[in-house]
Structure 1
C-alpha cells in the first residue's frame, strides 16, 4: 500500500516530540504539508530541523502556541486558517494521588487534553465538510478504557476524547470527512519514556527492565510484552489520514499491544 497525501495540509498539535513528532514525520513522508505545533519557538524550530534532516523534501511550517488556552488556539487558527487533516495529539499525563488533587489540576488537564482538540475541530471541520474531504484524528489512549488508578484524571480526559470523536463523526456523517480516535498503549514517548528513564536511574536498572516492571505491575494484560514505538503509533495515524481509510469513521482504533482485553 502506497499512501499519498501530496497536496493535503495537515496540522498535528503537540508535535515537537514523542508520538506527535512521529506522526508529523509520517505525514510529511507521505507528501502532506505539515504544520508543527509546540508551546515554544525553540521546540518548534528543533522539531522542524529534525524532520527536515530525515525527510529533506518535507513541506513543513511551524506555529508556536499554547493550545490549552483559547488565546493560544486563536493563534493557531490565525496562522493556519484551513486544514485537510487535523491530528489532535496534544496532551500530557502525571501520576498523582486522587485524594490530594485540587480542582484546578483537573480543570487544567481537561483544557489541555480535551478542549485543545474541541477548539481545533470546531474551527477546521466546517471547511473540510464544505470541501467534501477531511480527516480528524484524536490521540486517545488505552487508559480511556482501562482507567489507571494512579492517573484517574488522565483516563477521564481520554474517555472524553472518545466521546467527542464519535459525536463529531456522527455530526459530519456522509460528508466525505472521517473522524476517528487512535488508542496507544504504553509507548516510548517523551513523557512515558522519561518516566521510565528516571525510574531506571532511581532503581539502578536498565530502561528495558524498568519498562518490563511497569508492564508486569501496571499493564499485566499486555500481549506485546514491550512498549510500542512512536513510529508504530504513527503508522496507524497516517493510514487513518489516507484515502485508503475512507471507509473508517467513528472508530476507536487500538495500538495498545493487546492491553485492553476485548475482541472488539
Structure 2
C-alpha cells in the first residue's frame, strides 16, 4: 500500500530510541524527511548514523533539546522548518509511591510529558491549518486510563494527553488536518529492557522468563501476553500520519495488546 507520504516532513520528539526511534525509522522507509530529537547531540548523532546505515537514501537530521528546559524548547521551535507531521512522543516515567513524589517531580513530569506537546502543537497547528494539511499524533499510554498505583504522576500526564489531543482536533473542523492519540500498551523499550536485565541478573533467571513473569504479574489482562515491540506501535502511527487516515480525527486508538479490559 502506498501511504502517500513521500515529500512530507516530520518532527518526532524523543526519538533517539524506543517508540520514537521506531516511528522515525518507519517514516523514513516511507520516504518522509524526518527530524529526530533527543536531549544531547551525542544521542542524536548515534541515532542518525544508525538510521542512515539501515536506510542509505534517508533524509534525516536532528535537533537537540531537553523538553524540561523551556529555553531549549524555544530555540528548537525557532529553527524548526515547515512540518507536515508532528509526533508528540517524548516522555519520562519512573516507579514511585505517591507519598514520595515531590512537587517538583509533578512539575517536571507535566513539563516534559504534557507541555512538550502543547508547545509544539501551539507552534505548528496554526501553520498546518493555514495550508490545510497536517497531522499531529500524541503517543499516550494505557496508564492514562488504567492508572498505575506507583506511577500516578506518569498516568496523570498520559490522561492529559487524551484531553489535549481531542480538544485540538475540535479546531480542525472542515480541514485536512487531523489530531489523534495512540494509547500504547506495555512496550519493550530500551528502558524496560534494562530493568528486565537487572531483574534477570538479581534473580538468576533467563530474560525471557522474567519477561513472561512480569506480563503475568503486572499485565494479567493482556490479550497479546507479551511485551509490544516499538515497531508495532510505529505501524499505527505512520498510518495515522498518512493522507489515507483523513477519516480518523479526534480519536484515541489503542495499540495496547488488549490490556485495557473495555470495549471502547
Instruction: Note if contact 1:185-1:256 (Cα within 8 Å) is conserved in structure 2.
Output: yes
State the Cα distance separating 1:263 from its structure 2 match: 1.6
Gaps of 5+ in 2: none
Q: In the TM superposition, what are the counterparts of 1:163-182 in structure 2 within 5 Å?
A: 163-182=163-182
Write the deviation string for residues 126-179 of structure 1: whole angstroms up to 9, x where unpaired.
110001000000000011111111101111000000010000001222221100
Deviation at 1:2, TM superposition (A): 2.2
Alignment of 1:77-226 (within 5 A): 77-226=77-226
What do you get for the CA RMSD once the two structures are aligned?
1.0
Q: In the alignment, which residue of structure 2 is the partner of 1:242?
A: 242
Question: Is the Cα–Cα contact under 8 Å of residues 93 and 154 in structure 1 kept in the other structure?
Answer: yes
Cα offset, 1:193, TM superposition? 2.0
Find the aligned partners of 2:208 and 2:72 in 1 and give their Cα distance.
37
- Aligned equivalent of 2:68: 68
Count, aligned residues: 264
CA distance in 2, matches of 1:255, 1:103: 32
Over residues 21-62 of structure 1, what are the superposed CA-to-partner deviations in whole Å (9 max), with x where a residue is unaligned? 000001111111000100100000001001111111111111
In the alignment, the residues of structure 2 paired with residue 179 and residue 248 of structure 1 have an alpha-carbon distance, to the nearest angstrom, of 8
Q: Report the TM-score, using the length of structure 2 for normalisation.
A: 0.98
> Structure 1, residues 175-211: CA drift from partner, whole Å, max 9, x if none?
2110000111111112222222222222111222222
Segments of 5+ residues of structure 1 without an aligned counterpart are none
Measure the CA separation in 2 of the matches of 1:57 and 1:24. 14
In the alignment, is the contact (CA less than 8 A) between 1:179 and 1:249 conserved in 2?
yes
Query: Does residue 1:41 correspond to 2:54, yes or no?
Result: no
- The answer to whether the Cα contact below 8 Å between 1:34 and 1:61 also exists between their aligned partners in 2 is yes
Q: Give, in angstroms, the shift of residue 81 of structure 1.
A: 3.4
